[in-house]
């Protein structure tokens, strides 16, 4: 069972429907791995249902029900077909996130960033935001860095630690502009994460500051 | 219930992530835990309201026998509310009308997947309307869990034991919402009916984000208290 959960206000925004898609994806993927938060969201949705119940009615036009009755026997539009995922992908990647994958984990294009870190961008990118899978090699460290904006990282497999905690499958690590950290993947296996990153990262330390001049944050 | 919030178009340029998160150390306590501990003890039951019984029955008749009469009755109950919900969220009359039909069509098609031990009918219909709106009006996908996902971590208890108070307390919950202080009600309405996240509410009301969070949290504590006091 996960230990690090989304903040209560984020679960609330998810239940109310005001959360944007990238963070919604992080929440839904966490929910698949966390019965406790699932229960909390159901409770919040109950409030939505109660508010819906007490809305003053705005009756649809009389013709509406007739038009609708005529459509009840229409064949249901086929759901978009999804690729046949391998067993590992179905075990590690919960359904809400799987829906964004074009192929199994071993077949998607991974872009090496450092020797220990590879990224795969998901086609879900409002301006200024990156939504990606991260794969950190067992025992590898991501160079110490700060953040230009907020970042949400959800562990899907393996685990990592940084100055602020230890994160395993289902755990959510949240960073914002105030946090500088050096995440290190657990030694006993690769770490797979879903990350939503806003505003890029800034490498810390003298060498990092130099490198920042050559990389686009 | 006070309804003093003006109609507004959906926020399309809302930030994807909050500008700041709570301190990580504060979260070590585990936010989800208190709500679980405070939940209704297993086996406690409240008589369902007659209305809820009737709605559950209607869905069952659609699921089992595709009964059109049951669907018409369900439409009469929910369609005006769904339409009002969509209009509150900035939809014009024609769009709201069309989308209401889509929502009710989904109700017809998915009736067999409704589980009365997990949710009240109004909760289920709310989630369908909410997701259709995100899909069609905001043009975003709505990531949702799938109950038969092999990666889903199952509930620790059997579903019967965790049977949600949700299904049983609709009427009491509505009364409790009506009893909330006006400022708390207003924030709930902004969140559910105006597509406003916590930070968007803070920006619009010019209240500090912490104040918005604590007012909504206070409202939730009161509402949860209602769910538990049997």
B2, B108, B126, best to mutate vs chain A, most A CBs in 10 Å: B126
Is A25 in Cβ contact with B143 (below 8 Å)? yes
Chain B, nearest residue to A151 by Cα? B17
Is B72 in Cβ contact with A149 (below 8 Å)? no
**CATH number, domain B169-230:** 1.10.10.10
pLDDT at A72 (0 to 100): 93
Band (B38; pLDDT cuts 50, 70, 90): very low
CB contacts of A13 in chain B (<8 Å) are 191, 197-198
Q: Which residue of A25, A56, A198 is in closest CB contact with B84?
A: A56
Q: How far is A81 from chain B (nearest CA, A)?
A: 16
Measured CA to CA, the distance from residue B107 to residue A57 in angstroms comes to 18
CB contacts of B169 in chain A (<8 Å) are 46
Q: Is residue A2 part of a domain?
A: no
CB contacts of B119 in chain A (<8 Å) are 42, 45-46, 49
Examine the domain organization and report whether A100 and A202 are in the same domain: yes
Examine the domain organization and report whether A67 and A93 are in the same domain: no
Which residues pair with residue A165 across a beta bridge?
A162
CB contacts of A175 in chain B (<8 Å) are 21
Q: Is residue A95 part of a domain?
A: yes
Is A23 in Cβ contact with B191 (below 8 Å)? no
At the second CATH level, the architecture of B48-143 is Orthogonal Bundle (1.10)
Q: Is residue A127 part of a domain?
A: yes
Measured CA to CA, the distance from residue A137 to residue B14 in angstroms comes to 35
Measured CA to CA, the distance from residue A107 to residue B224 in angstroms comes to 46
CB contacts of A126 in chain B (<8 Å) are 16
User: How would you label B86-97 residue by residue, b for 16+ Cβ within 10 Å and e otherwise?
Assistant: bbbbbbeeebbb
Q: Which ipTM was obtained for this model?
A: 0.90
In terms of residues, how long is chain A?
217
Examine the domain organization and report whether A120 and A65 are in the same domain: no
pLDDT at A110 (0 to 100): 96
CB contacts of B203 in chain A (<8 Å) are none
Examine the domain organization and report whether A65 and A94 are in the same domain: no
Segment holding B61, helix H or strand E: helix B50-65
Q: With contact defined as beta carbons under 8 Å apart, do B36 and A36 qualify? A: yes
Is B200 in Cβ contact with A32 (below 8 Å)? no
Q: Is residue A217 part of a domain?
A: no
Q: Mean pLDDT, chain B, as a whole number? A: 81
Q: Is residue A135 part of a domain?
A: yes
Ramachandran area for residue B224 (φ above 0: left; ψ -120 to 50: alpha; else beta): alpha
Q: Mean pLDDT throughout B226-230?
A: 65
Chain B, nearest residue to A174 by Cα? B21
Segment holding B185, helix H or strand E: helix B182-193
Examine the domain organization and report whether A160 and A205 are in the same domain: yes
- Return the higher-pLDDT residue of A81 and B30: A81
Total number of domains in chain A: 2
pLDDT at B13 (0 to 100): 62
pLDDT tops 70 at residue B164 = no
Examine the domain organization and report whether A57 and A122 are in the same domain: no
Domain boundaries, chain B: 48-143, 169-230
Q: Is residue A121 part of a domain?
A: yes
- Return the higher-pLDDT residue of B10 and B174: B174
pLDDT at B19 (0 to 100): 84
pLDDT at A214 (0 to 100): 59
Measured CA to CA, the distance from residue A32 to residue A92 in angstroms comes to 11
Q: Is residue A81 part of a domain?
A: no
pLDDT tops 70 at residue B157 = no
B155 secondary structure, DSSP code? P
Band (B158; pLDDT cuts 50, 70, 90): low
CB contacts of A91 in chain B (<8 Å) are 150-151
Examine the domain organization and report whether A95 and A157 are in the same domain: yes
Containing domain of residue A15, as a range?
A: 8-71
- Each of the 217 residues of chain A gets a pLDDT tens digit; together they read 899 999 999 999 999 999 999 999 999 999 999 999 999 999 999 999 999 998 887 777 767 888 899 999 998 888 878 889 999 999 999 999 999 999 999 999 999 999 999 999 998 878 889 999 999 999 999 999 998 899 999 999 999 999 999 999 999 999 998 999 999 999 999 999 999 998 877 887 776 666 666 554 4
Chain A, nearest residue to B185 by Cα? A51
Q: Which residue of B105, B141, B162 is in closest CB contact with A21?
A: B141
Contacts of B65 (CB under 8 A, 6+ apart): none
CATH number at residue A34: 1.10.10.1320
Segment holding A172, helix H or strand E: strand A172-175
Is B68 in Cβ contact with A69 (below 8 Å)? yes
pLDDT tops 80 at residue B57 = yes
Is B36 in Cβ contact with A32 (below 8 Å)? no
Q: How far is A209 from chain B (nearest CA, A)?
A: 23
Examine the domain organization and report whether A102 and A173 are in the same domain: yes
Domains B48-143 and B169-230 share a fold: no
Q: Is residue A80 part of a domain?
A: no
């Amino acid at each position: 069972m996960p230990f690090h959960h989304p903040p209560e206000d984020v679960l609330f925004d998810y239940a109310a429907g005001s959360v944007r898609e990238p963070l919604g994806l992080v929440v839904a993927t966490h929910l698949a791995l966390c019965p406790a938060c699932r229960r909390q969201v159901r409770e919040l949705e109950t409030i939505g249902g109660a508010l819906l119940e007490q809305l003053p009615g705005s009756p649809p036009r009389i013709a509406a029900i007739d038009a609708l009755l005529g459509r009840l026997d229409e064949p249901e539009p086929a759901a978009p077909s999804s690729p046949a995922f391998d067993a590992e992908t179905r075990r590690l990647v919960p359904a809400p996130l799987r829906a964004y994958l074009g192929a199994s984990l071993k077949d998607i294009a991974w872009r090496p960033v450092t020797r220990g870190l590879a990224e795969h961008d998901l086609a879900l990118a409002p301006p200024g935001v990156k939504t990606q899978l991260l794969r950190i090699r067992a025992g590898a460290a991501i160079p110490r860095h700060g953040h230009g904006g907020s970042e949400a990282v959800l562990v899907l497999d393996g685990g990592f630690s940084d100055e602020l905690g230890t994160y395993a499958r289902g755990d959510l690590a949240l960073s914002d502009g105030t946090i500088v950290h050096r995440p290190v993947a657990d030694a006993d296996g690769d770490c797979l994460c879903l990350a939503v990153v806003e505003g890029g990262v800034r490498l810390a330390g003298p060498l990092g500051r130099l490198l920042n001049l050559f990389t686009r944050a | 219930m006070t309804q003093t919030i003006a109609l507004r178009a959906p926020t399309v340029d809302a930030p994807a992530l909050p500008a700041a998160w709570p301190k990580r150390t504060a979260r070590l306590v585990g936010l989800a835990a208190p709500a679980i501990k405070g939940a209704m003890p297993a086996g406690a039951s409240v008589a369902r309201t007659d209305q809820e019984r009737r709605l559950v029955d209607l869905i069952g008749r659609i699921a089992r026998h595709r009964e059109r009469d049951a669907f018409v009755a369900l439409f009469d109950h929910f369609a005006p509310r769904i339409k009002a919900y969509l209009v509150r969220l900035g939809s014009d009359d024609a769009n709201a009308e069309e989308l209401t039909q889509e929502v009710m069509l989904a109700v017809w098609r998915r009736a067999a997947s409704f589980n009365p031990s997990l949710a009240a009918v109004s909760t289920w219909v709310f989630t369908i309307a909410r997701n259709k709106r995100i899909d069609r009006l905001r043009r975003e996908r709505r990531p949702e869990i799938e109950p038969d996902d092999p990666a889903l971590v199952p509930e620790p208890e059997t579903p019967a034991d965790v049977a949600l108070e949700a299904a049983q307390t609709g009427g009491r919950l509505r009364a409790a919402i009506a009893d909330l202080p006006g400022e708390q009600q207003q924030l709930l309405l902004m969140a559910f009916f105006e597509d406003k996240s916590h930070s968007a509410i803070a920006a619009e009301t010019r209240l500090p984000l912490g104040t918005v969070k604590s007012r909504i949290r206070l409202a939730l504590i009161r509402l949860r208290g209602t769910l538990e006091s049997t």
